[in-house]
Structure 1
Amino acid sequence: MGILLPLLTLVLVTLSTSDAETPLPVEISNHWSGGFQGKFCVPVVKELTSWKADLTFDQKLSSLEVWTAEIAESKPGGKEFVLINKPWNAVEHVGDQICVTFLGHGDGDISPKATVIIEGMDVSIPPTLKPGSTGVTDSTGPSQTGPIPATGPYKVFNDWPERTRVEGEFQFPAGTGINGWEVNITFAESVTSMEIAFADVLNKSADGKVWTVVNKMDKGLYDAGSTVKMRFFAKYTGTKAPDGMAYLTNLGVDSQVLPALLNTGCTKYNYDDVIRKSILFYEAQRSGKLPDNNRISWRGDSGLQDGSDVGVDLTGGWYDAGDHVKFGLPMAYSTAILGYGLLQWRDAYAESGQLDWMYDTIKWPLDYFLKAHTKPEELYVQVGDAGADHGFWGRPEDMKMSRPAYKVDATQPGSDVAHETSAAFAIGYMIYKDKDPAYAAKLKEHATQLYDFGMKYKARYTDSVSAASGFYSSSNMTDELCWASLWMYQMTNDSKYLTEAEKWFQPGPAWGMSWDDTQAPNQVLLYQFTKKDIYKQAVEETFTYWMPGGTIKYTPKGLAWRLQWGSLRYASNMALVALMAAEAGINPEKYRAWAMSQIHYALGDTGFSYVIGFGDKYPLRPHHRSASCPWSPAPCSPNTVHRPQPSVHTLYGALVGGPDASDQYKDTRENYINNEVATDYNAAFQGAVVGLRSLILRKIHPEQVAGTAKCNFSK
């Protein structure tokens, strides 16, 4: 049988003009009785986080079909249409193109003229770059080119006119690997039903001519060079099988990449780019209703019923790691550590162009904690059952399981989590006291209430909340009692808090720093606030323990290796503490050089970057559910965790767990020991990178001291 018409690539003629948003003519081709087809590609000359196209025809259309955009508005008269981006093509960078293919329908042999504009963007004006951008895209992003339309003839295997039923097959060449797909089908005549073994029907038009189908679970995976064969049975209304055409969109690729930033610090590694990407990782971990300035196009609103089981709004916050549980203790720790770095090195955030984004990053979990602290002596410390959560591999937007909320209170206390959250509030107060005094005052009130609650009822929270004990079990509360007291002292300047902090001082070398152990930064802060030799001695003992020649063993390539699970976490955490100790005047050159060596190991000194999306070689298969999933509406298969294909989306800025004691590392999604990501992994790592960036500003960075810093740019 004949096919309706093949899709052809159209040519966009670009006119040079000085008028803003001058319409660009689009050549229309391949028209037939009742329809025509077209495609426009508009060059992107400014950074976009979303876009809107005005498509105008000189003849009336009865309908318009579009696959790579949404029709937001069809204006009266049938000549003007407003198109908006799909989730996967919202973010566009200078040098990209916005390409949209469409089919139009009308009366007779319609062949209209058409023009298009992208609202707010004049393609005749030279490209507008973000500060620090080179205007080119990173070569480190996904190698595939994004969702790719494909067309193919529909082959008839059987046509039963007496039954008005046809068996046919569309074939689509897979030019790139496919991990999830959507097919849009247009028939010349009405079709009343479709049966497809490997796909589900998403929707159909009222006249039965236009159908949209998506692959079934585990039926969307095809290697590059193979052919997608979509066999179907259809019931039709005419006297013979209708002509038809189809269009496949590959939902298993994400072509979005970040523009490269200039290395204005003249360092071996681009700290500004690392800071930016680490912040983006925290944005990818957001739960709840996402803000209008959301930059992670593959993330949507999720966890909107969190807290409904207890009648409390517990939406927001961060998902902990590659899963979707919200654990209060590591979230509060991560917030406090990130804030610690911001308080110390605000200058570096400003210089990197990330200060405003960092304010947003810190505020997101603080807002959540304000909701979670429902009474002076009540704090919700977990949302989600880890067992049920870990049994689900998919997008957080698709969660259907029960997500119970757990709390500590006077009858089931938790000093550790209460004091870690108090510290986060106190640090938040100091960050916002000049920027937003009213918000800061609220944080101060909650910090004080939680501090008093934790002191009044001293207990480990995992003795009260067993649901957390198998995942974030607290070993003791001594460090948090000291940690919270120190931050209360800095917030209030009331000496009673410093006296309390000294009471909980832990002498001797610190095992390390983590969400469960703040002994090391406590030692630094105690010395910073009192200048007592006992605290300086404790800091020095800690780093004698940690530095080469001490107790901590080192990998052959130089990583201070504390534990197998999240090895880079511990090295990065202690790098931050070393930089803070140096700021307090303790062995500054020695500690800064050591901290740099540990951070540079993570950034690429071994020839491999452990920060996703940074450098030439980095992890492609992190243990992270959402990043591994195709674009919606394609289903996310539980088997994805076992597949060797790279993740669909680049989880920019995430620090993976790291190598084993021999510098060996396996980039597989199943490997949650070495290849998972977590909010607490990035917290001190980001802080340490910011600290190194601040040293550049003050011209005391180890590379500057050694004379090895070289600039490869001009301002």
Structure 2
Amino acid sequence: MEEKRQCKCKHFSLPNYIVLILSLFPTLSLSQSTFNYKDALSKSLLYFEAQRSGRLPYNQRVTWRHHSGLTDGLEQGVDLVGGYYDAGDNVKFGLPMAFTITMLSWSVVEFRQQIAAAGELRHALDAIKWGTDYFIKAHTHSHVLWAQVGDGDTDHLCWQRPEDMTTSRRAHKLDEENPGTEVAAETAAAMAAAAIVFRTTNPHYSHLLLEHAQQLFEFGDKYRGKYDESIEGAKGYYTSVSGYMDELLWAALWLYKATDNPKFLNYAIHNANSFGGITWAIKEFSWDVKYAGLQIIASMLPMEGKTNEQKKTLQEYRSKAEHYICACLNKNKNNSTNVQRTPGGLLYTRQWNNMQYVSTAVFLLTVYSDHLHSTNQMLDCYTDTVGPNKILSFVKSQVAYILGSNPMGLSYLVGYGPAYPERVHHRGASMESYRDSKVFVGCTQGYDNWYGRKDPNPNVLVGALIGGPDHKDEFVDRRGNFVQTEACTYNTAPLVGTFAKLHSLENGTSSSSAYATPSLVSFI
């Protein structure tokens, strides 16, 4: 994520009357068509290889990247080589990295067969393991977690390929004196979710992940504190606005799913009220605010064998989960509790990197649609009773917008379709590949020679979901417009499961009935 800069940009937009016509008559959309979800899935998983830090493997497919960050942790005497860069910069932020792995893992937990049928399971597992291998390294003691490598402030003064980095690679740790519950709990959730993923294919690794997950949960719960008060360098980039109680509930539920140990369920039950799990009605889900996700998980837990207290609390979780679903569908009683829409029909939460909220929403809706279908249930919103197919139809409308059926006629998944943003705010993609030219690029040299160029990036950041258009469906394809053109790992991660599900529907490998791409305006 980049600091705010003033930029005077020429808006790359369509006249308002055309936007209005396209939003009212979506069949006229510039790129309305049948979408290749398998291709979108493949590209979304390829993106994570472009974000890799460390020593790249022999089967690395993104060939414009090379080894980087090979001395990470050396100053502190710990091996922190590996992991992911979060976005277009070269810092390894622990909180968004862990959330990315949780969401990738959840995609495989829910849609493993569909991902495998598309021929992408190995790539999905590789993407997850690249993250969890790093977390194992970073968790050097039961009560020590290295939660960040690099410094956002100095990193943002330089425009360098990761292979050329000269900025600080100082590592920051969390321990008993410097707690960071959000990162400890989110990393526990990521490792617990990944433990489920690897349970059958790599049971030893799965067991190892569970050990780390349980230790991290205990650490985060026992030594409570906001991580950005221990690591001040995280403030301004990944400030924890929601606090850590949502992460504790989230981690407890993932550990319950991974272990079936009732103590983790009881934790989520007993703390449901005091931690906000059944009191916060939410209309967004992100690396910071986990309530909607944990409410969805809780609402899908089977009621058989549960005590009356557990059943009652799980039902309250479900009520809040369905508030989120209804908010996305624009069917809550109070319109202010619904998610806003752009004129073209895209879910709109806020200006900065809005697509992250769209991708998490479509994933939660896809998962809940499957749950309703498999349990033969309906969703009761204030204005309507909604079936699983209608939820899935809305998901398809949002994915259609992402992939090009929108007023700009652009795919916001880079590399997909005939037209997509070409000036993504990303250091490595915006400069000549290190593999092609090992000539060192200095700190300010990158800004002078590459950042301000009007030419398209020399390397295509395939599979990256960028920040996307504004509340008027307008978009400026300019490198300096990082609010719209920067991509993040946690933008793309939730799409993996959704693309797999939609591909399976198109190919008749799912039991749910498929819908044709719907009109966006029908949901406005």
Pair in the same fold by TM > 0.5: yes
State how far apart, in whole Å, the 2-side matches of 1:316 and 1:533 are.
41
Alpha-carbon distance in 2 for matches of 1:553, 1:360:
36
CA 1:704 to 1:618, structure 2 compared with 1: closer, same or farther past 3 Å?
closer
C-alpha offsets along residues 26-82 of structure 1, whole Å, 9 cap, x if unaligned?
Answer: xxxxxxxxxxxxxxxxxxxxxxxxxxxxxxxxxxxxxxxxxxxxxxxxxxxxxxxxx
Q: Which moved more, 1:531-540 or 1:513-522?
A: 531-540
Select the residue among 512, 516, 522 that pairs with 1:700.
Answer: 512
Counterpart secondary structure, 2:296: helix
- Structure 2 counterpart of 1:686, from 471, 481, 496: 496
The equivalent of 2:351 in structure 1 is 564
**Counterpart in the other structure of 2:429:** 627
Q: Tell me the residue number matched to 1:429.
A: 195
In structure 2, relative to structure 1, the CA distance for the partners of 1:685 and 1:705 (3 Å cut) is closer
CA-to-partner distance for each residue in 1:269-324, whole Å, 9 max, x for gaps?
11111111111110000000111111111111100000011100000000110000
Q: Deviations along 1:174-212, whole A, 9 cap, x unmatched?
A: xxxxxxxxxxxxxxxxxxxxxxxxxxxxxxxxxxxxxxx
Change (3 A) 1:619 1:344: same
The CA distance in 2 between the partners of 1:379 and 1:405, in whole Å, is 10
Select which of 111, 119, 136 maps to 1:353.
Answer: 119
Q: Distance in 1 between matches of 2:502 and 2:253?
A: 24
Paired residue secondary structure (1:345)? helix
What amino acid maps onto 2:299 in structure 1? Y
Deviations 1:567-610 (A, max 9, x none): 11111111111111112215412221122111111011112100
Letter in 2 for 1:302: S
Aligned to 1:553: 340
Q: In the alignment, which residue of structure 1 is the partner of 2:166?
A: 400
Q: CA RMSD in A?
A: 1.6
The residue that corresponds to 2:371 in the other structure is 584
Q: 2:401 aligns with which of 601, 606, 619?
A: 601
Match of 2:447 in 1: 638
1:516 aligns with 2:279: no
2:428 alignment partner AA? S
1:613 to 412, 415, 431: 415
Aligned to 1:276: 42
Whether 2:228 is the aligned partner of 1:492: answer no
User: What SS does the corresponding residue of 1:407 show, helix, strand or coil?
Assistant: strand
* Residue 443 (structure 1) aligned with residue 245 (structure 2): no
CA deviation after TM superposition for structure 1 residue 620, in Å:
0.3
497-506 or 358-367, which deviates more: 497-506
Tell me the amino acid that sits aligned with residue 638 of structure 1: Y
- Corresponding letter in the other structure for 1:558: G
1:310 aligns with 76
Report matched runs for 1:14-53 at 5 Å.
none
Answer with 370-379 or 506-515: which moved more: 506-515
Q: What's the counterpart of residue 477 of structure 1?
A: 244
- In structure 1, distance between residues paired with 2:177 and 2:465: 38
Structure ID, larger Rg: 1
Deviation larger for 296-305 or 529-538: 529-538
Q: What is the deviation of 1:534?
A: 2.3
Aligned counterpart in structure 1 of residue 147 of structure 2, from 369, 372, 381: 381
2:177 alignment counterpart? 411
Change (3 A) 1:408 1:517: same
Residue 465 of structure 2 is matched in structure 1 by 655
Deviation at 1:695, TM superposition (A): 3.8
Secondary structure in structure 1 of the residue aligned to 2:158 = coil
Of Structure 1 and Structure 2, the greater strand share is in: 1
- Is 1:408–1:464's contact at 8 Å kept on the other side of the alignment? yes
> Is the 2:397–2:517 contact (alpha carbons within 8 Å) kept by the matching residues of 1?
no
SS in 1 for 2:301: helix
Equivalent residues of 2:228, 2:235 under 8 A apart: yes
Structure 2 unmatched runs, 5+: 1-32, 304-313, 373-378, 380-386, 519-524
| Matched residue type, 1:316 | G
* Structure number with higher helix proportion: 2
CA deviation vs aligned residue, 1:330-377 (integer Å, no higher than 9, x gap):
000000011001111011111111111111111001000000000000
TM alignment of 1:54-133, pairs within 5 A: none
Letter in 2 for 1:642: G
Q: TM-score, normalized by length of structure 1? A: 0.60
Q: Does residue 1:664 correspond to 2:466, yes or no? A: no
Offset of residue 641 of structure 1: 1.6
Deviations 1:226-262 (A, max 9, x none): xxxxxxxxxxxxxxxxxxxxxxxxxxxxxxxxxxxxx
Aligned partner of 1:5 in structure 2 is none
Contact 1:325 1:389 in 2 (8 A): yes
Aligned to 1:112: none
Render the CA deviation track for 1:84-134: whole Å, top value 9, x for unaligned: xxxxxxxxxxxxxxxxxxxxxxxxxxxxxxxxxxxxxxxxxxxxxxxxxxx
Task: State the Cα distance separating 1:687 from its structure 2 match.
Answer: 2.7
Q: Which residue does the alignment assign to 1:49? A: none
Higher relative contact order (CA 8 A, sep 6+): 2
Q: CA deviation at 1:530?
A: 4.5
Cα deviations across residues 629-677 of structure 1 (Å, max 9, x unaligned)? 1131355532322111000011111111000000000000001100001
> Counterpart of 2:323?
541
Unaligned runs of 5+ in 1: 1-266, 707-715
Answer yes or no: is the 8 Å Cα contact 1:341–1:691 preserved in 2.
no
Residue in 2 that maps onto 1:221: none
